[in-house]
Structure 1
Amino acid sequence: MTVPLNTVPLSAHRRIAEELPDLGYTDAWTGEAGGYDGFTPLALAAAWSRSLRVGSGVVPVQTRGPALLAMTVATLAEAAPGRVVVGVGSSGPPFVTRINGIPFEHPYRKVRDTVRFLKAALAGEYVMGDFDSFSIEGFRLASVPRPAPPVMVGALRPQMLRLAGSEADGLVTNFLAADDVPRVVEAMGPEGKAKEVVARIFVCPTRDRDYARAQGRAMLGSILNARTYSAFHDWLGRSDVLAASHRAWAAGDFRGAGAAVPDRLVDELLVHGSPEECRAHVARYVEAGVVTPLLAVIPAPEFGAGPDGMLSALRALAPVS
């Protein structure tokens, strides 16, 4: 499950986190952009549930120094031994530069070097020396987490996907269709076949198709025209499908860019329908190679608003034996 849950204040998450394992949910993961930070919700989820695995999916490598990132992960891992995963990624200029004032430079090298640093530091090694994108004069964690948390990479395209397969412990990805998964896994290389693949899947459990597609277009219009995701879907073979949306966006017609996303693509990227139909669609991702389907639930009119409505939706979507 993606946390914080959409439209639910963080202060209201405790009773939801306590119930999630009983419903069959195993994990709580965050993202990090312009809203919540990537670690506070994980610390709360780990404290409120004794079994949920918690992971950052993902935090940018540019906005924290390597040692601070290792210290944060190690602290969380000491509080929740064996239940922590750190996912890191490159993010982009809107988050790194425009709101944090940090130059967005050498994203691939910075992610690769941070992965190498984290794996060494979290294993208890003394890290010193020059990486391609930063230098470390000497660092060792004061308290080494046991076991060492896995380090995953947020990736979309071939170079970063190969990094996830060759040097990291797995992949975190999102905004892809179930049919896209085999190509993404293949791009991780031969070593990637044995790695964990986490995919964030957006779900709106409603039978109101028009409502779901409206929610999907409101989200996808900007996402699919962002630099990283536009290139990702071009690589997946959707340049022609999204050409009209790209033209509208370039002309400043942001609403038109969303309206130009075809119904079929909305239906592939946003899981919707009855809870049973949603579970069946999520199962397609697993069959295609996703190890951990990570749900991001969008409120649906059938379940109402607020914490009670979200909890009702989660109960309806819960894995069934």
Structure 2
Amino acid sequence: MSGQSWGLTVPLTGVPLPAHAELLRALPGWGYTDVWSSEVAGTDAFTPLALAAAWEPRLRLGTAIVPVFTRGPALIAQSAAALAAAAPGRFTLGLGASSPAVVEQWNGIGFEQPFRRTRDVLRFTRAALDGEKVTADFDTFSTSGFRLEQPPDERVPILLAALRPQLLALAGREADGAILNWLAAGDVPTCLEAVGNPAADIVARIFVCPTEDAGYARALGRRMISSYLTVQAYARFHRWLGRGPALERMWELWREGDRKGATQAVPDEVVDELVLHGSPMSCREQVLDYVRAGVRTPVLALLPTPELTDAASLAGVLAALGPAAAAVMKPAEPTPPRTTPVAQTLPAGTA
């Protein structure tokens, strides 16, 4: 796997931001090349990456994703330009529509015309980051006379989070690629066909639950699937992928208000496709199925497990999941952080 891009979603669940410093410094030794943030109900998308830029200068940084509704277009461009200056040549901006829950229910902003808003913010941000003065009437907003005071010296790649053909095609046509989420390795070719651009960068967030307790992993996976895949955009995505018959009962019970029943209705085979579980080595091999299918950068989203009891176990699992572990015939001991051990900065039970 020499030269293979390999990412990790940060921040890790339950780990305080300051405690990430030593883990991030250890990641390149374990074979990781990237860290990608998320923005739901925890940290914002930019702060963890700004810290990562200072802590470990070897890592590529990416947002997955910055919602196009919750910040103004000019502010998105400013934040992206600042992070690109902090990590020259190492930052990728990921944009996406997010969801009605995040945009409307939590931020009080109308979730209207998500495709057009995503397209418009992409076009504005591309022009602004390229140093242009932007005056334009887009379908979803107008802007007059904005120009970055200090545009990035190097071109900033922009990727789009995309779930269905129209956005996937936009990602291949006008962006530098696509960010995929909540899909199986077998779904990747369908998405790539919709992107329609062999040169496009393809990043995929992959949920990894490194435990051999299949019952635990499936129970956690069912809860996550019933929470996420009942969102309209994800439901449409999985119908398009052909998973409708397997999930129809879950959607029906969810609409009726039976959350427990909906969770129990998720079939084992769907969980096993969408949430990788098994030993860390087995999970690493399953991630490679996505790479073989055409994903350029798999980004692991590490889920909590009974085995993740302290900082040492967390470091060991991350090391075993990394590409460097595959370069030896037997699992290697985790590479220790360069300074104070992470275990001294993390509370017991952190996962």
Amino acid at match of 2:255: A
Question: Do residues 316 (structure 1) and 320 (structure 2) align?
Answer: yes
Counterpart among 15, 26, 42 of residue 35 in structure 1: 42
Q: Compared with structure 1, are the counterparts of its residues 34 and 303 closer, same or farther at alpha carbon in structure 2 (3 Å cutoff)?
A: closer
- Residue of structure 2 equivalent to 1:250: 255
Amino acid at match of 2:265: A
TM-score where L is the length of structure 2: 0.89
Q: Secondary structure at the match of 2:271?
A: helix
Pairwise CA distance, 1:312:
2.0
Query: How do residues 266-305 of structure 1 correspond to structure 2 at under 5 angstroms?
Result: 266-305=271-310
Amino acid at match of 1:231: R
Pairwise CA distance, 1:302:
2.4
Counterpart among 231, 234, 253 of residue 236 in structure 2: 231
Q: Which digits, 9 at most, give the CA deviation of each residue in 1:57-88, with x for residues without a partner?
A: 11110111111100000001111100101000
Pairwise CA distance, 1:9:
1.3
Distance in 2 of aligned mates of 1:14 and 1:234: 41
- Residue of structure 1 equivalent to 2:156: 149
- Residue of structure 1 equivalent to 2:176: 169
Distance in 2 of aligned mates of 1:32 and 1:131: 25
Query: How do residues 1-321 of structure 1 correspond to structure 2 at under 5 angstroms?
Result: 1-189=8-196, 192-305=197-310, 307-319=311-323, 320-321=326-327
Pairwise CA distance, 1:309:
3.1
Give the unaligned 5+ runs of structure 1: none
Distance in 2 of aligned mates of 1:211 and 1:73: 39
Contact 1:6 1:299 in 2 (8 A): yes
- Residue of structure 1 equivalent to 2:346: none
Distance in 2 of aligned mates of 1:101 and 1:208: 41
Pairwise CA distance, 1:138:
0.6
Give the unaligned 5+ runs of structure 2: 1-7, 328-351
Pairwise CA distance, 1:304:
1.8
Distance in 2 of aligned mates of 1:180 and 1:9: 34
Task: Name the % identity.
Answer: 53
Pairwise CA distance, 1:146:
1.8
Larger mean CA deviation between 71-80 and 296-305 belongs to: 296-305
Q: Secondary structure at the match of 1:153?
A: strand
Distance in 2 of aligned mates of 1:129 and 1:213: 49
Contact 1:299 1:310 in 2 (8 A): no
Distance in 2 of aligned mates of 1:158 and 1:58: 19
Pairwise CA distance, 1:194:
1.0
Distance in 1 of aligned mates of 2:106 and 2:114: 17
Pairwise CA distance, 1:109:
0.8
CA RMSD of aligned residues (A): 1.1
Contact 1:241 1:262 in 2 (8 A): yes
TM-score where L is the length of structure 1: 0.97
Q: Compared with structure 1, are the counterparts of its residues 8 and 308 closer, same or farther at alpha carbon in structure 2 (3 Å cutoff)?
A: farther
Pairwise CA distance, 1:277:
1.0
Amino acid at match of 1:273: G
Distance in 2 of aligned mates of 1:159 and 1:120: 22
Distance in 2 of aligned mates of 1:212 and 1:146: 45
Report runs of 4+ in structure 1 exceeding 4 Å deviation: none
Larger mean CA deviation between 152-161 and 2-11 belongs to: 2-11
Pairwise CA distance, 1:310:
2.1
Pairwise CA distance, 1:238:
1.2
Count of residues paired in the alignment:
318
Report 1 or 2 for greater relative contact order, CA contacts < 8 Å, sequence distance ≥ 6: 2
